[in-house]
DNA sequence: CGATCTTTTGACTCTGATCAACCGGGGTGG
DNA sequence: CCACCCCGGTTGATCAGAGTCAAAAGATCG
């Protein structure tokens, strides 16, 4: 029944994630592990961020999926980005910033407080250079995803957009160890995906069928498998975001 | 011939801009005025930011327009946002961040170095709280514009998008005193606007004609006039971004 | 006064939206 | 246990918004 990640301390997924972006010292790893292990369960549709409120309670999405979005008066919805397991939200590098969008959970989810991490990189950045770097990297990534989203929605065809989004999600889930090779969980309804891609549900459905018929993806009950990642990346013009200069050369 | 802003020190436009977001102390105003008055002239198509390069040279666009964009391999272009007079660019609150997009000038432009401001808010934020606040606000605004852009392009019709963008630009130009009431300079070609709105030039042209026919705007040689701003805001569902809590109440 | 760029117009196409109905599974309540 | 219902996915038919192609008409600029 419960399809959430098998029991693992909240710090685990975050540790896995941040390690990708910087070398973490034992002290830093210690800090992550000392972060409150208690995580809270919330149901579908829970508001994680409320537009207009001050962003002062950094949190970690331990499991489950969420999204940031905006509604138009007549019910049209645009999803800006997805918040995936291991992502932090409700924080902003700018002090006293207020939330520009609302965010809600799209599945059951577990959330944990991330204030400790926040304090560490904010007030004691020099003690925790790795954490600081890694958090800055995740902020850059978020911006990169937003730009990708804009290109998808603004200039790509339905076919390209869909492929591109799938690749991006695969990339992100891989980074936190939630991809099983080319197979990723896909708990989103087609309606949700459509609202992210700026398409109608019906058209998205047909586009997915096309991708399947072209043997680029395979999808069954809550999962998507990338059959030919290279071709897919080719049609979508997908490039994993580059957010830092290579530090090691030669 | 030369339609740039009448001679005014570079610090002027920035001062006008930042004063909107925070009370500036005499010391802070002094700092802005002491910023190198020398501004450099550059032609159309000059690269202001190069994707992949480290963002370490904060600059001020004193006059002229620019944009950030990305190209697809087959020539399609998505413009992410516009850089207007009084905007800063080439900086990032995150240290050692690398540019996620390229930016080029769309008109002749004047640019000035903004390192002084940068140093002030970065290393001596407590001495310059107003400047610091104001700069953070502009960063938030940039993000808000990006989100607006996504809604336009993802969920609005051509008619709505066009109206929305015009209103946003009017707002931004007003903030730096470049709007003459409801009339704003519009140095962009329709091709450029189309690339921002995710439309074809032909369709944008027809959409503009519709807006004119509906007496919502008027446009002539390099200028646009908003004839019925309220109606326009209504069709576009336009709301000026709110990026800070009201500080004064009662 | 050409040459080039931008805007405009016309005709046609097509991608993607809309409307409506149906299917299938899982939960629920009688 | 079964009927019902609701939700999400699928299909079909039709429509319309927006793209494409092509060319003309204005602007601008050496």
Q: What is the pLDDT of residues B39-91, one digit of tens each?
A: 899 999 999 999 999 998 999 999 999 999 999 999 999 999 999 999 999 98
Per-residue pLDDT, B36: 66
pLDDT tens across B217-245, in order?
999 889 999 999 999 999 999 999 988 77
Contact list, A96 vs chain B (CB under 8 Å): 136, 244-245
Q: Which nucleotides of C are covered by protein (CB under 7 A)?
A: 5-11, 15-20, 27
Per-residue pLDDT, A92: 87
pLDDT tens across A39-53, in order?
899 999 999 999 999
Q: Tell me the H-state helices in B74-114.
A: none
**Tokens at residue A243, please?**
């957010």
pLDDT at A156 over 90: yes
Which of A54, A95, A243 lies at the smallest CB-CB distance from B136?
A95
Contact list, A146 vs chain B (CB under 8 Å): 146-147, 150
- Report chain A's mean pLDDT, rounded to a whole number: 91
Q: Alpha carbon of B188 to those of A83, B70, B105, B161, B239: distances in Å?
A: 36, 17, 11, 16, 23
Which residue in B49, B144, B154 has the most chain A C-beta atoms within 10 A of its own C-beta, making it the best mutation to test that interface? Answer: B154
Per-residue pLDDT, A2: 40
Q: Assign B1 a pLDDT band (cuts: 50, 70, 90).
A: very low
Query: Does at least one atom of strand D sit less than 7 Å from the CB of A202?
Result: yes
Q: With CB atoms and an 8 Å threshold, state whether A94 touches B136.
A: yes
Query: Does at least one atom of strand D sit less than 7 Å from the CB of A101?
Result: no
CATH of the domain spanning A157-237: 1.10.10.10
Nearest to A243 by CA among B243, B81, B207, B94: B94
Q: With CB atoms and an 8 Å threshold, state whether A244 touches B96.
A: yes
pLDDT at B9 over 70: no
Q: Alpha carbon of B236 to those of A71, B158, B243: distances in Å?
A: 13, 10, 20
Contact list, B149 vs chain A (CB under 8 Å): 150
Specify the CATH architecture of the domain A9-155.
Answer: Sandwich (2.60)
CA B153 to chain A, closest CA, distance in angstroms equals 6
Q: With CB atoms and an 8 Å threshold, state whether B147 touches A237.
A: no
Helix (H) or strand (E) holding B183: strand B183-185
Let me know: does A17 contact A175? Beta carbons within 8 Å: yes
User: pTM for this structure?
Assistant: 0.93
Q: Assign A36 a pLDDT band (cuts: 50, 70, 90).
A: low
Q: Please give the average per-residue pLDDT across A3-23, as a whole number.
A: 75
Per-residue pLDDT, A18: 93
Per-residue pLDDT, B249: 45
Ranges of CATH 2.60.120.10 domains, chain A: 9-155
pLDDT at B250 over 60: no
Nearest to A178 by CA among A32, A16, A21, A60: A16
Q: Assign A12 a pLDDT band (cuts: 50, 70, 90).
A: confident
Question: What is d(CA B38, CA B115) in angstroms, rounded to the nearest whole number?
Answer: 13
Helix-strand-coil percent breakdown of chain B, rounded to 5? 40, 20, 40
CA A208 to chain B, closest CA, distance in angstroms equals 19
Q: With CB atoms and an 8 Å threshold, state whether A100 touches B52.
A: no
pLDDT at A8 over 80: no
Per-residue pLDDT, A7: 52
pLDDT at A193 over 60: yes
Query: Does at least one atom of strand C sit less than 7 Å from the CB of A158?
Result: yes
CA of A143 to C1' of C7 (A): 35
Per-residue pLDDT, A5: 43
Which of A76, A147, A155 lies at the smallest CB-CB distance from B76?
A155
Q: Please give the average per-residue pLDDT across A119-124, as a whole number.
A: 87
Let me know: does B100 contact B28? Beta carbons within 8 Å: no
The residue count of chain B comes to: 250
Q: Tokens 């002491």 belong to which residue?
A: B34
pLDDT tens across B143-190, in order?
999 999 999 999 999 999 999 999 999 999 999 999 999 999 999 999
Query: Does at least one atom of strand C sit less than 7 Å from the CB of B244?
Result: no
Task: Indicate the CATH number of B10-236 among 3.50.50.60, 3.90.1200.10, 1.10.340.70, 2.60.120.10.
Answer: 2.60.120.10
Which of A72, A136, A147 lies at the smallest CB-CB distance from B80?
A147
DSSP string, B186-213: ----HHHHHHHHT--HHHHHHHHHHHHH
- Name the more confident of B66 and A95: B66
pLDDT tens across A223-248, in order?
999 999 999 999 999 999 988 775 54
CA A139 to chain B, closest CA, distance in angstroms equals 8
């Amino acid at each position: 029944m419960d399809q959430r990640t098998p029991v693992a301390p909240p710090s685990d997924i975050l540790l896995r994630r941040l390690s990708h972006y910087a070398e973490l010292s034992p002290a830093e790893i210690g800090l992550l592990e000392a972060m409150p292990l208690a995580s809270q369960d919330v149901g579908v549709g829970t508001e994680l961020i409320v537009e207009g409120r001050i962003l002062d309670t950094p949190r970690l999405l331990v499991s489950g999926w969420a999204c940031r979005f905006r509604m138009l008066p007549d019910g049209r919805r645009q999803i800006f980005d997805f918040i995936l397991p291991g992502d932090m939200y409700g924080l902003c590098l700018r002090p006293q910033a207020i939330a520009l969008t609302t965010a809600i959970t799209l599945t059951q989810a577990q959330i944990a407080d991330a204030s400790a991490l926040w304090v560490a990189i904010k007030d004691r950045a020099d003690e925790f250079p790795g954490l600081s770097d890694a958090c800055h990297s995740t902020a850059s990534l978020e911006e990169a995803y937003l730009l990708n989203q804009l290109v998808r929605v603004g200039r790509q065809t339905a076919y390209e957009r869909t492929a591109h989004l799938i690749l991006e999600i695969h990339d992100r889930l891989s980074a936190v160890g939630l991809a099983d090779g080319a197979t990723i969980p896909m708990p989103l309804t087609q309606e949700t995906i459509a609202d992210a891609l700026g398409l109608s549900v019906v058209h998205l459905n047909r586009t997915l069928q096309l991708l399947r018929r072209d043997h680029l993806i395979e999808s069954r009950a809550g999962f998507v498998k990338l059959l030919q990642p290279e071709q897919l990346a080719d049609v979508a013009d997908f490039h994993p975001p580059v957010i830092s200069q290579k530090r090691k050369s030669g």
